[in-house]
Structure 1
Amino acid sequence: MKKQLMYLALFCPLSAFAAHPLTSDDTGTQGDGNWQFETNGEVTSKQEDIGRQTLWNNTLTRGVGEALDLYVNVPYTNIQNRSESAGSGVGDVETGAKWRMYDDGAFSIGLKPYLSFPTGNDQRGLGTGRVNAGATLLAQYQIDDWTFLANAGGAYQANRQGQRQGVWKASAAVLYRVLPSTQLILDVGTSQNPDFAQKTNPAFMILGAIYSPTSWMDLDVGYRRGLNPQTYDYSWMGGLTMRW
């Protein structure tokens, strides 16, 4: 069970680095020549077999044209209970793009492909040891103060741990703007279990809020709850986003 949960964290990152604390991504892009930097953390519940983990992500994004973003993400994991098969350090670096390929104002569709590189130590549970790739289809519908998101995609996750290499993933979210500066969010997601021996797919729910005191900065908090034993019981999240 210990390695199973560690590898689920590695192999099933549904987020694709959406607006934290969301897992479901929107179709919005930064605009030509604009930059965005996101830093966020997540502290998991203390599991009996693997202890508590702290997960950090730092993502830098640049707009290339009005409908295309390029990004690079550097993850870091701290595992509380160290052992011969567990450690702390930088994980697999990911690079990717977001292309908003259709937009009629209220409804838009995007595509987000990515590549990840084996920069994390797979012997210590920090990476897969292989180059991986995937893509997610993004859909967004906005009406008044409500925004609805739906994501579906797949990933090729080559690895040296004997896990499933091709997996699907799906998630959906709703955001409600309660104040001009504040949005409340509900996000649910699931993905195919990379462990061949498991019949249940990991699933979760996120409740959170995004506060934007200025047009160039967001602050966020979130609570993630596992909906079955194939993922962490719960975790707390927080993040900062800056744009220029």
Structure 2
Amino acid sequence: MCKVLKKVLPVIAAVLLTSVPAFAAHPLITDDTGTQGQGKFQLEVNGEYGRDKENLGGVETRENAAGLETVISGGLTDTIDLVVAVPWAWSRMKEDGVVVSDENGLGDLGLELKWRFLEYKGFSLALKPGLTLPTGNENRGLGNGKVSYGATMVATQELDPFTVHLNLAYTHNEFKLDLDKEANRRDIWHASLATTYQVLEDLQLVANVGMESNGDRGSNTWPAFVLGGAIYSLSENLDLDLGVKGGLNKQEPDLAFLAGVAWRF
């Protein structure tokens, strides 16, 4: 069963910091180099609902999972943001129609610092170190039980009306439970590419592809995804977004629906 759904999509499943850069411009998984500006803030509330189905050894396994994440970003300077993410997650698994797991609760809290250190003719680079703090209950599959850390390199190229973003990330996960230590890889690598297209002044279409190391020691196949969606600006400081994410292989959840709102102030 896909690790993202099994571990409850808690960072949604971004991640927070499980590996995927979770604090991107929703519904994108891939982050951009943009920052809020000194003394300015952004509040995001993002939701995700996913489902996965597999048949292993004649047993049909179905899993539904949902997550709600609140993310606040604050500009320490014009080029440095502090980002805090608080995830809540729910997951239910059935085997041949019988519920074998049903958990929900707070996940591991995520902290990131985004520093845009280079800007040149529409091209920019940023570095994002981050931590996840063990606020989720590891015994219920809602967290790792220990502090984990990682870093993401972010590149953005503006090609009006398109903008392209590339992320390369590394995460080191620590686990408290012996069972998790035996089942999960500690070191996760991630690569993803996204583009946005400014269709209208207040409407963007977005697309995203990516892959990362399989967190399950039992598989060497990297989960891969494709995502499409839209961001609509109700005003200069208020955005709504929708997205659909699909798995490109069996290691990624079959389908997930995403929605969010972002308010800048």
Which band: TM-score by shorter chain? over 0.9
**RMSD in angstroms over aligned alpha carbons?**
1.9
Partner in structure 2 of residue 6 of structure 1: 6
Q: 2:80 aligns with which of 65, 68, 81?
A: 68
Deviation at 1:167, TM superposition (A): 1.1
Moved more, 210-219 or 45-54: 45-54
Q: Is 2:179 the partner of 1:158?
A: no
Counterparts in 2 of 1:219 and 1:2: CA distance versus 1, 3 Å: closer
Deviation at 1:168, TM superposition (A): 0.6
Q: 1:197 aligns with which of 213, 218, 221?
A: 218
Q: Is 2:197 the partner of 1:176?
A: yes
Q: Could you list the runs of 5+ residues in structure 2 that have no partner in the other structure?
A: 54-59
Q: TM-score, normalised by structure 2?
A: 0.87
**Contact 1:51 1:81 (C-alpha < 8 Å) held by counterparts:** yes
Deviation at 1:4, TM superposition (A): 7.5
Partner in structure 2 of residue 57 of structure 1: 69
Q: TM-score, normalised by structure 1?
A: 0.94
Deviation at 1:3, TM superposition (A): 6.4
**Contact 1:187 1:205 (C-alpha < 8 Å) held by counterparts:** yes
Q: 1:27 aligns with which of 23, 33, 36?
A: 33
Partner in structure 1 of residue 126 of structure 2: 110
**Contact 1:226 1:234 (C-alpha < 8 Å) held by counterparts:** yes
Q: Quote the Cα distance in structure 1 between the aligned partners of 2:105 and 2:84.
A: 17
Counterparts in 2 of 1:17 and 1:207: CA distance versus 1, 3 Å: same
Q: Quote the Cα distance in structure 2 between the aligned partners of 1:28 and 1:185.
A: 16
Partner in structure 2 of residue 126 of structure 1: 142
**Contact 1:36 1:61 (C-alpha < 8 Å) held by counterparts:** yes
Instruction: Classify the secondary structure of the residue corresponding to 1:123.
Output: helix
**Contact 2:2 2:252 (C-alpha < 8 Å) held by counterparts:** no
Q: Quote the Cα distance in structure 2 between the aligned partners of 1:194 and 1:80.
A: 20
Partner in structure 2 of residue 37 of structure 1: 43
Q: Quote the Cα distance in structure 2 between the aligned partners of 1:178 and 1:3.
A: 35
Alpha-carbon displacement from aligned partner over 1:151-184 (angstroms, at most 9, x marks no partner): 0010001113021111110100111101011110
Counterparts in 2 of 1:219 and 1:233: CA distance versus 1, 3 Å: same
Q: Quote the Cα distance in structure 2 between the aligned partners of 1:4 and 1:206.
A: 16
Q: Could you list the runs of 5+ residues in structure 1 that have no partner in the other structure?
A: none
* Structure with greater proportional strand content: 2
Deviation at 1:15, TM superposition (A): 3.2
Partner in structure 2 of residue 149 of structure 1: 165
**How many positions carry a matched residue from both structures?**
244
Counterparts in 2 of 1:4 and 1:197: CA distance versus 1, 3 Å: farther
